[in-house]
């Protein structure tokens, strides 16, 4: 057995025991698992996440103890364990090591995650085979995390879930709108133990209906909200965080719209830090999606290098415009070549 397999088996056993202890009411086990996470954390974002949790757990009456127990009691343990280990160990530990090795060999940046905007499987856009090939090529480079936004009336959710389930060494974050959910689809999501689903929460009644369905089926889920300059006033905690119904969601993502300016993004970064450090009756961990991803990228790859794939299948680097060139299409070009074109001239010791 390889050392990586032995390490994963030890982590698997430790996490399973911790989940059982926390479910039975052990607050000490909550703190022990957070301390363990902080010990192995790599990079600014991971460190901040666990250190924030530690600060809150210093108080015996912290509502974060209740939050941890509620999530562990309401979410399938196989899902918590599989998603958590795939993200924390496969992606941010083994994957980081492989990415840095490949950067040194190839001389270009490699992102730690890839974001795909999917509206349908189309011969002229993103096909099911092209997405599967992208994931397999990504794993060879050390990419074990994928963020997929699935939207639109033709969204191929059923076939997509089968594809995610098949890639059981990866961690997937799947962004959905509530109207895409029904009981059959939620049941299929509950079988994807390597997937965290996030529901858009702009329409609170629709979000609540979808979230309660996911909770009933013991899914791991989050909420997300898009913002621009015009929408900043709606991000005040009393206008959205406090309005979120208590459905079992533990994480919320804020995503800047493409046209959102730098000043507005900076305001949101500052706001998110304040919310993370504030004691709240209904605690939620808030993530400024693109900003926090950039912190991880800089730790892993030495630069902000998120790769984004459009519904038409064209790849671009975050912050760049989509160019409809054949050499940037994921069905017509291999991933390594696309990365060499979009993310050249990485330093050999990037991220170290």
More confident residue, 116 or 9: 116
SS3 287: strand
pLDDT per residue over 9-28, tens digit each?
A: 666 666 666 666 666 666 66
Region 267-291 average pLDDT:
81
Tell me the pLDDT band of 144, cut-offs 50, 70 and 90.
very high
Q: 225: closest CA among 243, 246, 248? A: 243
Tell me the pLDDT band of 34, cut-offs 50, 70 and 90.
low
Instruction: Out of 51-60, 73-82, 106-115, 326-335, pick the least confident.
Output: 51-60
pLDDT of residue 146: 98
Do 99 and 112 meet the contact criterion of CB atoms below 8 Å apart? yes
The pair of three-digit structure tokens given for residue 297, joined into one six-digit string = 């990228």
The pair of three-digit structure tokens given for residue 178, joined into one six-digit string = 């509530």
pLDDT of residue 241: 78
Instruction: Out of 54-63, 100-109, 142-151, 284-293, pick the least confident.
Output: 54-63
Give the list of residues 6+ apart from residue 209 with CB closer than 8 angstroms, or none: 178
> Which residue carries 């959710």 as its tokens?
157
DSSP string, 296-345: HHHHHHSS---EEE-TTSBEEETTSPP---GGGBTTTS-HHHHHHHHSB-
What is the side-by-side order of every strand in the sheet holding 285-288? Answer: 285-288, 251-256, 221-227, 195-200, 171-176, 145-150, 113-118, 307-309, 315-317
Residues in the chain: 352
Tell me the pLDDT band of 351, cut-offs 50, 70 and 90.
very low
pLDDT per residue over 181-224, tens digit each?
A: 999 999 999 999 999 999 999 899 999 999 999 999 999 999 99
Helix axes 44-57, 262-277, angle to 10 degrees: 30
Do 29 and 18 meet the contact criterion of CB atoms below 8 Å apart? yes
* Average pLDDT of the chain to the nearest whole number: 85
pLDDT of residue 29: 65
Q: 52: closest CA among 245, 274, 256? A: 274
Instruction: Out of 78-87, 240-249, 331-340, pick the least confident.
Output: 240-249
pLDDT per residue over 308-324, tens digit each?
A: 999 999 999 998 999 99
pLDDT of residue 350: 38
Region 84-98 average pLDDT:
90
């Amino acid at each position: 057995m390889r050392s990586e397999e032995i390490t994963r088996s030890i982590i698997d056993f430790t996490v399973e025991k911790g989940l059982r202890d926390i479910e039975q009411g052990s607050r000490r086990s909550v703190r022990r698992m957070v301390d363990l996470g902080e010990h192995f954390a790599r990079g600014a974002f991971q460190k901040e996440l666990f250190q924030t949790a530690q600060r809150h757990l210093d108080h015996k009456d912290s509502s974060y103890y209740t939050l941890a127990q509620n999530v562990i009691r309401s979410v399938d343990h196989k899902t918590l364990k599989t998603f958590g280990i795939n993200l924390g160990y496969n992606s941010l530990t083994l994957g980081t090591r492989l990415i840095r090795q490949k950067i040194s060999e190839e001389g270009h940046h490699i992102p730690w995650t890839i974001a795909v905007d999917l509206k349908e499987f189309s011969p002229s856009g993103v096909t099911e085979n092209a997405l599967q090939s992208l994931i397999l090529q990504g794993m060879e480079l050390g990419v074990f995390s994928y963020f997929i936004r699935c939207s639109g009336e033709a969204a191929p959710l059923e076939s997509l879930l089968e594809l995610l389930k098949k890639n059981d060494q990866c961690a997937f974050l799947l962004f959905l709108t509530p109207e895409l959910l029904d009981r059959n689809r939620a049941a299929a999501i509950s079988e994807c133990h390597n997937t965290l689903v996030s529901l858009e929460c702009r329409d609170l009644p629709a979000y609540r209906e979808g979230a309660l369905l996911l909770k009933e089926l013991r899914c791991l889920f989050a909420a997300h909200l898009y913002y621009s300059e015009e929408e900043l006033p709606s991000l005040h905690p009393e206008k959205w965080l406090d309005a979120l119904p208590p459905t079992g969601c533990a994480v919320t993502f804020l995503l800047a719209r493409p046209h959102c300016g730098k000043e507005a993004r900076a305001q949101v970064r500052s706001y998110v830090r304040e919310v993370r450090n504030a004691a709240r009756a209904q605690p939620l961990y808030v993530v400024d999606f693109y900003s926090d991803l950039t912190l991880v990228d800089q730790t892993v790859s030495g630069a902000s290098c998120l790769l984004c794939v459009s519904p038409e299948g064209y790849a671009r680097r975050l912050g760049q415009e989509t160019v409809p060139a054949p050499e940037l299409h994921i069905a017509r070009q291999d991933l390594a070549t696309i990365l060499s074109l979009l993310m050249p001239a990485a330093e050999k010791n990037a991220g170290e």
